[in-house]
Amino acid sequence: MNFWKQVKQNNTPFFVVAPMADVTDPAFRKLIAKYGKPDVMWTEFVSANGLMSKGREILARDLVFSEEERPIVAQLFSADPAMMEGAAKFAAELGFDGIDINMGCPDKTIEKQGAGAAMMKEPDAALAIIAAAKRGIAAAGKDIPLSVKTRVGYNAVQIDTWIPLILASGVAALTVHARTRKDLSKVPAQWELLKQVVALRDRIAPDTVIIGNGDVTSLADGKEKARSSGVDGVMVGRALFGNPWFFDATRKMTATIPQKPSSVILFLKKVFPFINTDSKRSAPVSLVRPITIEERLKVMVEHTQLFEELLGDIKSFSIMKKHYKAYCTGFRGSKELRMRLMDEAKIAADVATIVEEFLLEDNLVQ
């Protein structure tokens, strides 16, 4: 069943989570599903070769997901058709709603295998991988959509030669990062190039869903990028760091540290509840609720606890520290808190203690 059609029908543009290694793991995905669920969730990218090895039980933990995350897509990478076929069958049997092939990752170790962005240099190999994934899905007895994530080119923009090959292969969805592999993240994403991708889609494969990716900073920014480029959906990556509420339009991050009301104000409000003690005229109640520093830090602790619970026995605790840099920024004392977490935290209980002490010291807990 091609769930992409329903997603596109329900929301234009729709929003999806980017597959990021050691970021969109089962712990973070569970947190995002709880605090700001997007239209579609993606796993981090997983080696098809590894899934077909004897030690795949540990690697397969990256593919653990909860029902709350649906629809969810498993992303795989490989340059070996036999490995891709087997891994696609395995992922389909796990119950994923779709499977995606990574043909854009610039990581050198992945490119040395002929996978990721290296696929753009070997179009015949790329088509063989797509065909293999389709066979794997069919072998599992499933009817789920196959998609591809790639870039606008390798060393230069090659939309007119590379993109038509993928579209003609019959994928249900195509995500295009608006940079070349050579660009990495050194230059701004060129969303204007995605207009060409959409035009090619309209001519070659009208039913294929096009998703844009690169430098999306907010829901409003994503909507504007989609409007100007014509893509159907928007993929969000780095902006999710420290912000599992990103996809919830009713919440907004704030750097304001709430202060306790003075004793005089508390007394006046208790004795004369009808008196407005605010210095400014009261504003209408907003539909957008601020995400306070206290809430942000408590969710960081929850994130750590989930990581320890789901992955603590197979992954290094240091993976969490990239998240601490994102959670702890932009407010008074954030640098000192971040340094304590980097230096002292070894387990989730340490993080909870450090955060609790910080909140008490700064009078955030009332």
CATH classification at residue 46? 3.20.20.70
Based on DSSP, count helices (H) and strands (E) in the chain, helices before strands.
15, 11
Of 53, 50, 52, 45, the closest CA to residue 99 belongs to: 45
**312 and 211 within one domain:** no
Is 142 in the same domain as 192? yes
What pLDDT is recorded for position 364? 54
13 upstream amide cis, omega within 30 of 0: yes
The predicted structure's pLDDT at residue 362? 62
Burial 78-113 (b: 16+ CB within 10 A, else e): bbbbebbbbbbbbbbeeebbbbbbbbbbbeeebbeb
**Using an 8 Å Cβ cutoff, are 178 and 163 in contact?**
no
Residue 286's pLDDT is 56
**What per-residue confidence (pLDDT) applies to 255?**
55
Cα distances from 39 to residues 2, 17, 243, in angstroms, run 14, 9, 16
- CA 143, CA 134: separation in Å to the nearest integer? 10
Same domain, 235 and 273: no
What's 44's DSSP letter?
A: P
Q: Do 69 and 202 belong together in one domain?
A: yes
- Catalytic residue IDs: 105
Question: What is the residue-wise DSSP string for 141-176?
Answer: T----EEEEEEEESSSB-HHHHHHHHHHTT-SEEEE
Residue 199 and residue 308 share a domain: no
287 and 232 fall within a common domain:
no
Are 120 and 64 contained in the same domain?
Answer: yes
Residue 131: both structure tokens together: 């065909």
For residue 272, count other CB atoms closer than 10 A to its CB: 10
- pLDDT for 283 equals 37
Task: Tell whether 366 is covered by a domain.
Answer: no
pLDDT for res 264: 42
Number of domains in the chain: 2
**Whether 282 and 210 share a structural domain:** no
Q: Is 88 helix (H, G, I), strand (E, B) or coil?
A: helix
The candidate with the shortest Cα–Cα distance to 72, out of 50, 104, 94, is: 94
Within a domain: residue 255? no
- Residue 254 placed within a domain: no
pLDDT along the chain (366 residues), means of 10: 92 95 95 97 97 92 96 98 98 98 96 97 98 98 98 97 98 98 92 98 98 97 98 97 95 60 44 42 59 96 98 96 94 95 97 96 58
- Give dist(CA 62, CA 311) in Å, integer: 9
Q: Is residue 247 part of a domain?
A: no
**What's the CA gap between 92 and 96, in Å, rounded?**
6
Residue 273 lies in domain: 263-361
- Tokens 């050579």 found at: 182
